[in-house]
Structure 1
Amino acid sequence: MPAQVIKIIGARQHNLKNLSVEIPREKLVVVTGLSGSGKSSLAFDTLYAEGQRRYVESLSAYARQFLDKMEKPDVDFIEGLSPAIAIEQRSAGANPRSTIATTTEIYDYLRVLFSAVGQPHDPATGKALVRQTPQQIVDQILVYPQETKIVVLAPIVENERGEFRDVIEKLRREGFVRARIDGDIIELGRPEPIRLKKTELHTIEAVVDRLIIRDGVRVRLADSVDTALKWGGNRVIVLRQQPIIVGQARRLPAAESASDALALQFGWQLQRYSTDYGNADSGFTLGELTPKHFSFNSHLGACPACHGLGTQLVVDPELMISEPEKSIADGVITPWRRGPKRMQAYYKKLQGALVKHFRIDEEAPFGELPENFKSALYFGTGETPIEMKFASNGEKIARPFEGLVPQMQRLYEETESEFTRNRIRSFMTRESCKVCRGARLRPEILAVTISAVISSKQSRGSELKRPAPGSLSPSRTGISVRDDQLRELNVHQFTELTVAEAAQFISQIALSAQQRQIASEVVREIESRLQFLLEVGLGYLTLDRESGTLSGGEAQRIRLATQIGSGLAGVLYVLDEPSIGLHQRDNIRLLGTLNRLRDLGNSVIVVEHDEETIRSADHIIDLGPGAGPRGGEIVAQGKLDEILSAKNSITADYLSGRARIAIPRQRVAPRSINHQPFVTPKRSEGGSTINPDPEGWLTIVGASENNLKNVNASFPLGCFICVTGVSGSGKSTLVDDILRRALFRHFYNAKEKPGAFRGLRGVDQIDKAIVIDQSAIGRTPRSNPITYSGAFTPIRELFAQLPAARVRGYDAGRFSFNVKGGRCENCEGGGLIKIEMHFLPDVYVECEVCHGRRYNRETLEITYKGKNIADVLDLTVDEAARFFRNVPSVSDKLNAMLDVGLGYLRLGQAATTLSGGEAQRVKLATELAKRATGRTFYILDEPTSGLHFADIENLLRVLIKLRDAGNTLVVIEHNLEVIKCADWLIDLGPEGGEWGGKIIGAGPPEEIAETAGSYTGQFLRSLLQ
């Protein structure tokens, strides 16, 4: 009988204090505690790491070399461990070819579905393509009137340049007597050679047979059609001459050549047939469709222009102008300031010629120059010549100017120099491919559709996007449609749907009985995967959304949905805060999903701070009592009732109501109290929104990216602002895709292009924009809190000023472990030596020369107050703040770290060991320590990720300090404890995806709580009472 518990004895990974615990199996277990208390060390670095390591070690040495090497956790004993799967809070990677549809395998099934039952169309006309068997072709030809003369042709070459001597010779050798070349039937065995002009387009068709429609001709005709299909690549052409009726006028088809002697004399008509999909009218044919044809990673289906990426690098005019307030004479045109001196001289003369031609003042700011000059500079003068003087003899040359954009684009595509390409790439941005318009696939593949019968009685909330106008015919055979609408989508249009829309469409797919027999299993797989995504609250995401653009919480829930779909049992699942990014309204569905995973017979361990999730757990483990070295112990464990009665548990204090985050007594009101940008504004006759008072506000006008419905959003400056709304309502689109990118382009000339919006007002009232997120403060163990905060520089300068250091001539660089001089060269300042173990994990051992101290002996002889530089790096922030209390340049930065609750961190602690919450607080402390200008615009996206109730209270204290210095904070947040403390809320909705993107209300939390239709207001109401 399998063990009923997972038994851990002596866990010492990271800050765990020789921890021993029994965790019930096949239960939903929540591990909670302060940020840095050891939750991830227990759940991921001990339980998951050991489960994964045991699995990897069961494989052969050959197989292990292809897998990540797992380090054995510092633990004495673990019993009852199942195979482990971690679903972490991490990005899905930046591969542009990875989408939600590909990650969840939905796209794989879509490719099978479209290749099996999709209806192809002619991409030029939209007409449905049909395919025929050789027998059907023969039957159609035999329908011609008796005595009709026909010529059966096999198309060999169609509209290609060349002499084609080898083709003609091969036809002659294979026994063909005649061929139709450029409309004329020619004897292949004639004495004079057949000469074709190499530079002209030619069409060659082999004459397979000539016969007359009569009784008994079927067998001969069938053989001829088979031969023609074989030689013509599944295509056959039939020329026919109907019996002449006396007195009836003959009409030639427009498609025939004027030089066709037979057509001219006898009125031949041309008909095309194919066993592939084809359009008899236009001659377009499409070969056998396979799943590879619908893959944008295969050359068979990928758009040839963008190679399946859907985007292309194009020159962006705005990136060429560094500072619009500078003049042309000051070198505002960035590309013309670079390159060798010879090229710079050429550009200077070219610049002078343009200035002279357009008669502009080259000393004037670029932003004030006339638009016709800017247009000519960017895109050229067309056919208008510009007089330029280049030759030393004074000779003048007049020729059109190509323009910066086409010139740079041409150079990028033609040059073989990687250096030149890199230089030009700095002026380029990614835009939707102009050929496939972002669809990634070839036109003929995008013309393959499937249909769904959409009820005409459907509500607005379930209405699907219509296909783009292009007139793909909705007709399908074998499907009965009466009052309902038959709607067609190609594979790209299907992936443009949200998960909710796609689930509705696939459930109503229109298939004939034969098609349903072929595709029913595929449809069922697609439906189940879409349903799992709906269950984890991702119904608002579109299937074509790139994986790299997902938040950590969204990426994690996608992996969770994939695991549910796998149906595994007896597995240990370890999840990292799955509720991140979810609105309270959607949380109950997530909890249902976790319970379902448990009910399959799995053990589910969740690192979580969400109150609702903690209350729903079967078993709770609370770590603490503090963070870092003060944590790593079990404060309380058991069912909810046992946790609530625990005396020394901070978690219990907040859950029981003994402690709570207080609502601010007074909120900061907007500077301009009469400004009401969110009340439905009056519009002028021209249709633009009238903004009564922009002073004290930063306003985005006409935001329409993704699902935003042309909204005007105003942010009161000097306030703490929360942007709220259900998942998928447009918060990240508004704040990150539009506001953040627009500000970064304005202040830093960033390459990222903002989403669609008409204007940004009030930007002159701020001096910089800063994003504070939970990304790591460094990628290597050499990065640490003291180097990131900037406090290490004054510390090194302090040591360099000591008498002993000055006597030896040491400068501040001597006390850096990243450069030669003072560091230990055996470990290059790392303190550890990496030993590669090949099939086993790499082992890090303490450097035997410096014994982990990083520096050489001479450097360590310099001391301040009895401590050398290595001793200083080993101090906690708490200890260091006291040690350097008389050194303001250091203590100010350390005190800021104390204010954000990071007193337990060691100054030299590797950045790679910090949690996301800790990394974010280091960034906040760095901002706190800076001299405030009172005009900084801060943007934070869900800063409460990974934070306990007590950590959130500390975070709010810091945010309010930043606000009190006159700065503006915009926070995307779902946590109600943060939302209730904001000065101003902007609530988006009412739903996610296509049914969101509107501003439901804006104002203080008390106003939003009373706003009809606001889900945020509904949950906020009880907290404000």
Structure 2
Amino acid sequence: MAFISVRGAQEHNLKNIDVDIPKNSLVTFTGVSGSGKSSLVFDTIYSEAFRRFVDSSQTPIYVMGGSSWSKMSRPRFRSITGLPPALGLSQKQGVAGKLSTVGTISGVSDLFRVYFAAFGDIFCHKCDIPLKSISFSDLSKKIFEDFNAKKIMIIAPICEKRKGAFIDEIEKFKELGFSKLRVNGDIFDLQDENIKIKIDPKKLNTIDVIIDYVSILIEKKQRIERALFQALEYGKGIVKIEYLSKEFKFNTKSNCPQCGESAPKLDPRYFSHSSLGKCIKCEGEGSFKKGYPADLFPCKQCHGGRLDPSTPIVRVKGKTFIETHLYNIKELYQFIISDFKEHVQNDKSKIKVYSEISRALLSMNRLGLGHLILNRSGASLSPGDLQRLRLSTMISNKLTGVLYIIDEPCQGLTKQEVKQLASVLQEIVKDGATVISVEHHPVFLSFCEILFLMGPGAGVHGGQVVAKATALEDLDVFLENPQTKLNKTKFAPQSLLLEKAPKLPKANSKKKSPESFSTKTSVLSKSSMLFSDFQVRNLIGKTIQINHGVITIIRGASGVGKSSFIELCLLPALYSLGGKNPDAEDEIEIPFKEFCKFNVTNDFEVNVVGYVKPGSVTRSSRRSVASALDVIKPLRELFTKLPTSQVMGLTESHFSWNSKLGRCDHCEGKGYIELPQRYSEPVRVECEVCIGAKLNSRSLLPRFKGYNLADVMNFTLEQSLDIFENHKIIANRIIRACQFGLGYIQLGQGMDSLSGGELQRLNLTIELKRSNLDGAWFILTHPSTGLHGPDISILGELMKVMTERGATFILIENREEFLPFADKVIEF
């Protein structure tokens, strides 16, 4: 079939829509926040593609747990035809873990580990010369020389720090007549039927067979050599010698010709900073200060390389594993296609791994990630870089007939980077794939073959396909969404603000056109801080002035130092001036004055610092939008005062899903049950007792205007204003969120379900309740995330209003739609 045909889609706010999406095309869905883009693309199309894949394979048995999968409901639609296998990449995958690196996220580190372990040259730690194989006779001679007249144990290593029960191996040595087995240091008698050897298969186990316990005497040479031969056979070329509780390893395939040092059998895990190779001092983080960047505070033992110095020294074309991980991707790719390629030659085994490495690096380079190094922590990546890094792993293999579904791939990119990304996706389409994206960037939209505009508004005002375009002359309809252009599509526009909400106050300052912008500011406050003489990363040579009480936009390509400046200099400086970040879990004290010179005017004021990165891990599924807006307590008080509650003796605790009095006991107030999976994240299934209400049946009886508390929590903010229009406390706290274009989100929606852009706007909403914003600083990373043209205008106007009340905004943003709202633009 030439199309992916969706009929009757009704997931979330989708209004029974029909849509035909052409295959082998670059397709984008755009529209205002909450218009239904993700509901259609991710929650319907991708979710059904994944469900069909699992349902039609053996995956339910081995991964999903069979019966668990049957409990999951499919998306709400009438039919979907022509749906190919799909790979999806959404913003909600969150930030990377503390031990993840660019290399582990991309999978390139795994490939290097395999190559170095299988084909690398081992070097002596002391002499720094290649180790060579040693003959059996030379090994025997060395044993007699080193342990003459000493009683030793000759041991065959079976496995070292591996998971498993090893039942077959134990039975094999028992049948061969061996009597002693050592498991994790404990010795067992194999021939004693009364002894049962228990091995925990989930733990890392080390198992050895004791071949002989013998004194090294010339008259016992035949016995000793027979024991050595058996140990080498079962130990696959490695024998352990133990004398007076000291252990010595001999590897016949790697021995130093000068000092006799022997290396263990190479294992890819020796090159893993989360396994056998991790530096014990820093536990694989690379930094001597936990939570700090490894390149700024390298661990003295591993020098920031994350690996233990005692691990074998292995080189390929003169480079160690760590050295390859300190190149940036652009430099590393050049090394791979030149020197490294010579090492491969015509060896089929090497070629297979090499081709995977080169293809992955090429994909990362083409997506504009050439500035990254493999050893860089994944947690330090900007949201845009992390998104593209994950995208590179998806597209590097150029699968044919596959559907790629991508959420805002242009996040944080410059025009040129967006063009580069779009050209890569176009090539994938030429190779036979289909790409569907959710995106707002005008440059990216101009590269797409098919555009769908969702809307016309958000929430209940959205959920429809407003327009479809196949020609670039129709592009303006998809960018501004004005009434005149929407009328052409036979849809009446809907206001993004509620009728009951007060109209958005206009800022006093006039908007400036993007053409009038430069790196200078029009009217700036006298209060400022100056950063100069940078000595960190690629900020060297810059001088940056930050002004108080204005909107400053920081722009520039990926890797030029925008995030480094914010996180290593600006934020620590604000904290040092008394700023507090209420959303931060543990503020890391960065000694920023070691990285730059810092001067500040005396009348500089800082008290609150709001810094929320898209994909922040601080979002909690137990915390709802209602609790963030401080309307939970008023709602519980309201329901407690109802006549039904008074008769039943219900208190506020009976309306809390965190209390034993009110919560559903089956799901413990979550509204869902988590089904653990063997190879993936747990799957959430709606609680079959409370049907997602979170509360027990008793707490659901009282009703306000015909709705119980669970019904109320399912209302959008816009709907709730109709219900609580006479309850000023609740209404006033909700109105401001609606002014930020968040009227479509639900009161009970978990904070972990919000996009990065939604989270940032909600954070600003909460701060607006303050009577005085003097000294309030807001650092926004890519605030355009999830925002369409009208959304950006709303956010821009509100930032202007807040600056007039004393707030200061710093935006890391490359979208030009924000420029008219800026007082100062800093180009990196």
Instruction: Name the TM-score, length of structure 1 as normaliser.
Output: 0.60
Task: Give the conservation status (yes or no) of the 8 Å contact 1:651–1:949.
Answer: no
CA distance in 2, matches of 1:979, 1:43: 30
Deviations 1:674-703 (A, max 9, x none): xxxxxxxxxxxxxxxxxxxxxx12344554
Residue 502 in structure 1 maps to residue 332 in structure 2: yes
Kept in 2, the 8 Å contact 1:99–1:545? The answer is: yes
Out of 372, 390, 393, the position equivalent to 1:559 is 390
2:673 & 2:611 partners in 1: Cα distance? Answer: 35
Q: Is the 8 A contact 2:453 2:478 kept in 1?
A: no
Q: How does 1:288-687 map to 2 (within 5 A)?
A: 289-299=266-276, 301-306=277-282, 308-311=284-287, 432-443=298-309, 445=311, 447-451=313-317, 488-509=318-339, 517=347, 519-641=350-472, 643-644=474-475, 650=481, 663=513, 669-672=523-526
> Residue type of the partner of 1:62?
I
Deviates more, 1:594-603 or 1:625-634: 594-603
Does the aligned pair in 2 maintain the 1:932–1:965 contact within 8 Å? yes
Q: Is the 8 A contact 1:13 1:46 kept in 2?
A: yes
Equivalent in 102, 114, 119 of residue 116 of structure 2: 114
Shift of 1:129: 2.7
Select the residue among 588, 591, 595 that pairs with 1:752: 588
| CA pair 289-894 structure 1, distance change in 2 beyond 3 A | closer
TM-superposed deviation, 1:521: 4.7
The alpha-carbon deviation at position 709 of structure 1 amounts to 1.9
**2:480, 2:789 within 8 Å by CA — same for their partners in 1?**
no
Deviations 1:860-903 (A, max 9, x none): 6575x898766755654345446656655444322311221223
Local SS of the residue matching 2:130: coil
Higher-Rg member (1/2): 1
Contact 1:831 1:854 in 2 (8 A): no
Whether contact under 8 Å (1:436, 1:443) holds in the other structure is yes
| Counterparts in 2 of 1:661 and 1:855: CA distance versus 1, 3 Å | farther
Q: Determine the structure 1 residue equivalent to 2:76.
A: 74
- Greater CA drift, 100-109 or 911-920: 911-920
- Matches of 1:800 and 1:450, distance apart in 2: 72
CA contact (8 A) 1:274 1:285 kept: yes
Confirm or deny: 8 A CA contact 1:701 1:757 kept in the other structure. no
Instruction: Indicate how the Cα distance of structure 1 residues 506 and 885 shifts in structure 2: closer, same or farther if over 3 A, else same.
Output: same
Q: Distance in 1 between matches of 2:645 and 2:41?
A: 47
* Structure 1, unaligned runs of 5 or more: 139-150, 169-203, 210-222, 236-272, 317-429, 452-487, 673-695, 989-1025
The 8 Å contact of residues 88 and 576 in structure 1, kept in 2 or not, is answered as yes
Could you tell me which of 932, 944, 947 is aligned with 2:784? 944
SS at the partner of 1:555? helix
Give the equivalent residue in structure 2 for 1:844. Answer: 686
Query: Counterparts of 2:474 and 2:610 in 1: how far apart (Å)?
Result: 40
Give me the whole-angstrom Cα distance separating, in 2, the residues matched to 1:167 and 1:878.
Answer: 78
Note closer, same or farther for the CA distance 1:758–1:837 as it changes in structure 2 (3 Å cut). Answer: closer
CA distance in structure 1 between the partners assigned to 2:134 and 2:433 by the alignment: 53
Q: Residue 716 and residue 595 in structure 1: after superposition, are their counterparts in 2 closer, same or farther (change >3 A)?
A: same
Deviation at 1:733, TM superposition (A): 1.2
SS across alignment from 1:573? strand
Question: C-alpha distance in 2, partners of 1:274/1:786?
Answer: 64
Look up the SS of the partner of 2:767 in the other structure. Answer: helix
Alignment of 1:670-709 (within 5 A): 670-672=524-526, 696-709=527-540
Distance 1:120 1:981, change over 3 A: same
What's the counterpart of residue 31 of structure 1?
A: 29
C-alpha separation in 1, matches of 2:670 and 2:362: 51
Query: Structure 1 stretch 711-720 or stretch 503-512: which is displaced more?
Result: 503-512
CA RMSD of aligned residues (A): 4.8
Q: Quote the offset at 1:506 in angstroms.
A: 1.8
Structure 1 residues 93 and 913, CA gap change in structure 2 (3 angstroms): closer
Q: 1:119 to 1:59 in 2, by over 3 A?
A: closer
SS at match of 2:537: coil
Counterparts of 1:831 and 1:490, CA distance in 2: 49
Distance of aligned partners of 1:154 and 1:589 in 2 relative to their CA distance in 1, 3 Å threshold: same
* Closer, same or farther: CA 831–880 of 1 in aligned 2, 3 Å: same
Question: Paired residue for 1:99?
Answer: 101
Corresponding position of 1:929: 769
Higher relative CO (Cα under 8 Å, sequence separation at least 6) belongs to 2
- The answer to whether the 8 A contact 2:133-2:253 is kept is yes
Task: Please report how far the alpha carbon of residue 941 of structure 1 lies from its aligned counterpart in structure 2 after TM superposition.
Answer: 0.6
* SS state at 2:538 partner: coil
| Secondary structure of residue in 2 paired with 1:505 | helix
Contact in 2 for aligned 1:622/1:634 (Cα 8 Å): yes
Checking the alignment, whether the CA contact within 8 Å between 1:120 and 1:448 is kept in structure 2 is yes
> What is the match of residue 497 of structure 2?
none
Deviation at residue 122 of structure 1 after TM alignment: 4.0
2:418 aligns to what SS in structure 1?
helix
Matched residue type, 1:762? V
Aligned to 1:128: 129
Q: 1:136 to 1:535 in 2, by over 3 A?
A: farther
Matched, 1:762 2:628: no
Match of 1:968 in 2: 808
Q: What SS does the corresponding residue of 2:566 show, helix, strand or coil?
A: helix
Percent identical among aligned pairs is 29
Q: Could you list the per-position Cα deviations for residues 738-794 of structure 1 after superposition, in whole angstroms to 9, with x for gaps in the alignment?
A: 433554576559452426624554396311211134458996766432221113334
SS across alignment from 2:772:
coil
Contact 1:779–1:912 (Cα < 8 Å) also in 2: yes
Residue 897 in structure 1 maps to residue 771 in structure 2:
no
Distance in 2 (alpha carbons) for counterparts of 1:647 and 1:448:
55
Deviation at 1:528, TM superposition (A): 2.0
Amino acid at match of 1:81: L
> 929-938 vs 79-88, which deviates more?
929-938
Equivalent residue number for residue 566 of structure 2: 735
In 1, Cα distance between equivalents of 2:138 and 2:748 = 80
User: Aligned partner of 2:332: which letter?
Assistant: A
Secondary structure of the structure 1 residue equivalent to 2:78: strand
Residue in 2 aligned with 1:4?
Answer: 2
Structure 1 partner of 2:162: none
CA contact (8 A) 1:571 1:603 kept: yes
Is residue 37–residue 624 contact of structure 1 (8 Å, CA) maintained in 2? yes
Amino acid at match of 1:128: I
SS at match of 1:500: helix
Q: CA deviation at 1:497?
A: 1.1
Quote the residue 2:505 is aligned against. none
1:49 to 36, 47, 50: 47
Q: CA deviation at 1:649?
A: 8.1
Residues 586-609 of structure 1, C-alpha deviations (whole Å, 9 max, x = no match): 111111111111112111111111
Please report how far the alpha carbon of residue 21 of structure 1 lies from its aligned counterpart in structure 2 after TM superposition: 1.0
Residue identity opposite 2:381 in structure 1: L
Give me the TM-score of the superposition, normalised by structure 2. 0.73
Q: Which ranges in structure 2 are unaligned for 5 or more consecutive residues?
A: 155-213, 220-224, 239-249, 494-509
Q: Name the counterpart of 2:183.
A: none
Identify which range, 36-45 or 913-922, moves more after superposition: 913-922
In the TM superposition, residue 107 of structure 1 has moved relative to its aligned partner by 2.0
Task: Give the 3 Å change call, closer, same or farther, for CA 807–5 of structure 1 in structure 2.
Answer: closer
Pair 773,931 (structure 1): closer, same or farther in 2 beyond 3 Å: farther
Work out which of the residue numbers 630, 634, 639 in structure 2 matches 1:790. Answer: 630
CA distance in 2 between partners of 1:908 and 1:940 (Å):
25
- How far the C-alpha of 1:562 sits from its partner, in A, is 2.0
Count of aligned residue pairs for this structure pair: 708
SS of the aligned residue for 1:586 comes to helix
Aligned partners of 2:9 and 2:55: how far apart in 1? 21
For 2:768, what is the secondary structure of its paired residue?
A: helix
2:367–2:388 CA contact under 8 A, matched in 1: yes
